[in-house]
Structure 1
Amino acid sequence: MSPIALPTQHAAVLHGPKDLRYEPRTLWPPQQGHVQVQIVATGLCGSDLHYYMHGRNGDFALQAPLVLGHESAGVVTAVGPGVKNFVVGQRVAIEAGIMCRDCSYCKRGRYNLCKNMRFASSAKTFPHLDGTLQDRMNHPAHVVHPLPDNCTFDQAALAEPLSVLLHASHRGAFSPSSPPQTVLVFGVGAIGLLACALAKSYGATRVCAIDINQARLDFAKREGFAQEVFCLPGGDRAKTTEEALKRAKENVGAALIAFGEQDGFDLVFECTGAEPCIQMSIHGAITGGKVLLVGMGSRTSHSP
């Protein structure tokens, strides 16, 4: 008797820096507790771009071919054994991290700190766990989330980066029930724009943004994400730590004057991870204010 041929699908597979290949792969049925999702929308995270450009993201280097993508939504196409809360055709968003559900962090509800976390599209663990840049993927049902009818797939793909801001706000005790606050956002990429939107939805009295890219700032202001924006001046890199700190204080001071907030903002979202912006964010907060470090930084630089 001939073996049954399994169907195939296609995936965008990263083999090394700038080596992305469109390849056929076997489409396996979902196992116990998993669902199969046809991917409809996937956002591109900064980590995806780092992997593509350099074959690594910080300390996490590619050790084998990897499918990128983790900001995604789609439609359930198959349900594995034991799954009772999903049906074929259901619209869902995918949570890319798979926690162990057994450690002390998971049991306390802080599963983002799980030391056994496996994350789709990350080279942190080996064997790597493939991400969402494929036709369909099998994923544990407990980290797949049903979508309301009024949520588009593109909007649902933003659920993963939005969750980063929601978590940061929770850690900073910032919520819709908080007293009205002024908010400053460093960086108006996808995360920064979501920080602006979140601040507005939480009742911030004023939302301002800082970046080095005037076009991004113009977009943020034009589309109503930020009320006022400030473009940081260019210039040579500071040669000493003292010079860098002095320049950071001067630059943010100029921004605060331009915003009419010389005393600083109640809450600062630092969404770049850039060392100068981290330094500026401290000076950008009012005395007794809060700074939320959201951006993923690089290794600490050392002056000669």
Structure 2
Amino acid sequence: MDDRVVAPLDRGEVRLEMAWGGICGSDLHFYRDGGVGASIVRNPMVLGHELSGIVCEIADDVEGFKPGDPVAIHPARLCGECLECRNGRNNLCRNVRFLGSAALNPHCDGGFRRYMTVQQGQLRHLPAGLDLEAAALTEPLAVVLHAINRAGPIEGRSVLVQGAGPIGVLLVAALRLKNAGRIVATDLNELPLEIATGMGATEAWNTASSFPEEEFDVVFEATGVAAALASAITRTRRGGVLAQVGIFAPGPVSAPLSLIVSREIDFRGCWRFDAEFDEALALLAEHKQQLTGLVTHKFDLPDCLEAFHAASDRKTASKVLLRLNA
């Protein structure tokens, strides 16, 4: 454990007692591999960006929040000045300080700790009926909602979700809530497919032995495995949409790009989220039971190493939560 000095609050800042945090795939990569893509850990860094907490102290100029308020935490602190911010593409801010990220140096510490200080603008009150544990799923659900928005109209359309990890199964659940037609989930492991079925998949295929042969209106590639891109392109119908949600490792990726041309496939990258964070909160409050079925393990913060070990085994775990105030 690492003790850090608690600095006095600056203008617009709020101190939180942390409640729950979800372990993300990027947290696992930072822990196991020392980096995610081009983001390399160069100095000690606190992980965690899927977070909820309770307000315990506010700066003198903060309004709208008071000690004791339960909150969800938007992990992005935008610069507000780059071209992307000025054009309303906040999720693409090139100078963003994102909790638990090594994209910039000095790194931006995350929330897997007892107390944390953030800007008031990063906090959201919890809707009535939403508890702090479920609120820790707001961030990954926001990622999913942004990907669906990038894919375009979804109602009644046939959809393939490649990869039934936490993001994949949340995609399935959100697609069901948004009235998609046939929803097919694929994965190499049985547990993720069982969870996907429970969260609304019409069909679940274990691609270790078989794969749906037909084409789909929309394909969400949620594995980030380079070899999976070829099958995602092949399974996207003419005039369809391929939404890339999984993050590839740096470097070239081999794929049948001629099919993107000849089929006029729209290949759309999906990066984080913006206003979808607020939509995710509302959906969690209204459909908590349907959207929390991916949580398989809960650990106390002192047991974080055991939690990371569990989260690394996709045959036995999906979303792993840390109880941060234990």
TM range, smaller chain? 0.7 to 0.9
> Where does 1:65-76 land on structure 2 (aligned, <5 Å)?
65-76=44-55
Q: For residue 156 of structure 2, what is the aligned residue in structure 1?
A: 180
Matched, 1:142 2:142: no
Matched, 1:268 2:247: no
Letter in 2 for 1:200: R
| Mean CA deviation greater in 142-151 or 184-193 | 142-151
Matched, 1:285 2:236: yes
2:249 and 2:4 mapped to 1: Cα distance?
A: 35
Letter in 2 for 1:256: P
Q: Is the 8 A contact 2:172 2:199 kept in 1?
A: no
How far did 1:103 drift?
2.3
Task: Please list every run of 5 or more consecutive structure 1 residues that lacks an aligned counterpart in the other structure.
Answer: 1-21, 235-253
Q: For residue 246 of structure 1, what is the aligned residue in structure 2?
A: none
2:220 and 2:93 mapped to 1: Cα distance?
A: 24
Matched, 1:96 2:78: no
1:51 and 1:103 mapped to 2: Cα distance?
A: 27
Q: Is the 8 A contact 1:70 1:96 kept in 2?
A: yes
Judged with a 3 Å threshold, the aligned counterparts in structure 2 of structure 1 residues 224 and 163 are, in CA distance, closer, same or farther, namely closer
What SS does the aligned partner of 2:227 have?
A: helix
1:219 and 1:33 mapped to 2: Cα distance?
A: 41
1:47-104 superposed Cα distances (whole Å, 9 cap, x missing partner): 1111111222222221111100010011111111321121111111111111111223
Letter in 1 for 2:69: Q
Q: Is the 8 A contact 2:157 2:217 kept in 1?
A: yes
2:10 and 2:176 mapped to 1: Cα distance?
A: 42
2:53 and 2:121 mapped to 1: Cα distance?
A: 16
Q: For residue 208 of structure 2, what is the aligned residue in structure 1?
A: 233
> Where does 1:184-203 land on structure 2 (aligned, <5 Å)?
184-203=160-179
Q: For residue 8 of structure 1, what is the aligned residue in structure 2?
A: none
How far did 1:202 drift?
0.5
Q: For residue 43 of structure 1, what is the aligned residue in structure 2?
A: 22
Instruction: Tell me the C-alpha RMSD between the 2 structures.
Output: 1.7
Q: For residue 241 of structure 1, what is the aligned residue in structure 2?
A: none
Q: For residue 255 of structure 1, what is the aligned residue in structure 2?
A: 211
1:198 and 1:302 mapped to 2: Cα distance?
A: 29
TM-score, with length taken from structure 2: 0.74
1:219 and 1:194 mapped to 2: Cα distance?
A: 10
Q: Is the 8 A contact 1:29 1:78 kept in 2?
A: no
Q: Is the 8 A contact 2:38 2:250 kept in 1?
A: no
What SS does the aligned partner of 1:40 have?
A: strand
2:205 and 2:23 mapped to 1: Cα distance?
A: 26
Q: For residue 319 of structure 2, what is the aligned residue in structure 1?
A: none
Letter in 2 for 1:126: N
Matched, 1:204 2:180: yes
Letter in 1 for 2:212: L
> Where does 1:29-178 land on structure 2 (aligned, <5 Å)?
29-174=8-153, 178=154
1:215 and 1:170 mapped to 2: Cα distance?
A: 28
Letter in 1 for 2:211: A
Give the paired residue count.
Answer: 254
Q: Is the 8 A contact 1:93 1:146 kept in 2?
A: yes
Q: For residue 267 of structure 2, what is the aligned residue in structure 1?
A: none
> Where does 1:215-226 land on structure 2 (aligned, <5 Å)?
215-221=191-197, 223-226=198-201
How far did 1:281 drift?
1.0
How far did 1:31 drift?
1.4
Letter in 2 for 1:224: M
Percentage of identical aligned residues: 35
Letter in 1 for 2:42: Q
TM-score, with length taken from structure 1: 0.79
How far did 1:255 drift?
2.2
